[in-house]
Structure 1
Amino acid sequence: MKDLLPAGVLKQPAVSLYCLEADEMWSFVGAKDCPEWLWLAVDRRTGLGGGFPFGQSG
């Protein structure tokens, strides 16, 4: 007997999940009284970077 499903019902739902690791680090740019922050996000499965914005903390 064949496994029949009603029209429009998927046997396995299509799901995309991302698992990112995020971290922050700071560095002095030009002078010690001007720290700049770097936020880094990396996809754990692929190793691809998710973002590298610079800015102030807070």
Structure 2
Amino acid sequence: MTAIRSLPTTQLRLPNELKVWLQHQAIDNRRSLNAEIVLRLELSLAQQAKAQQTQQGE
């Protein structure tokens, strides 16, 4: 696992409605807002990679 302090920080501008929704999702899933965003981005990346593999296999 990568040490948290060694990860670069990124500022992100979100529409307020999206931020509030993500905050609620993070609370419901017992994660920090950062962890929720990272997980959702990782899942999206994996889904996109799988879709690309499927397209290449056709």
The higher-RCO structure (CA 8 Å, 6+ apart) is: 1
Shorter-chain TM-score above 0.5 = no
Where on the TM-score scale, by shorter chain, does this alignment land: which range? under 0.3
What TM-score comes out, normalization by structure 1 length?
A: 0.21
Q: Could you say which structure has the higher helix fraction?
A: 2
Rg: which structure is higher? 1
Which is strand-richer, 1 or 2? 1
- TM-score for both structures, normalised by structure 2: 0.21
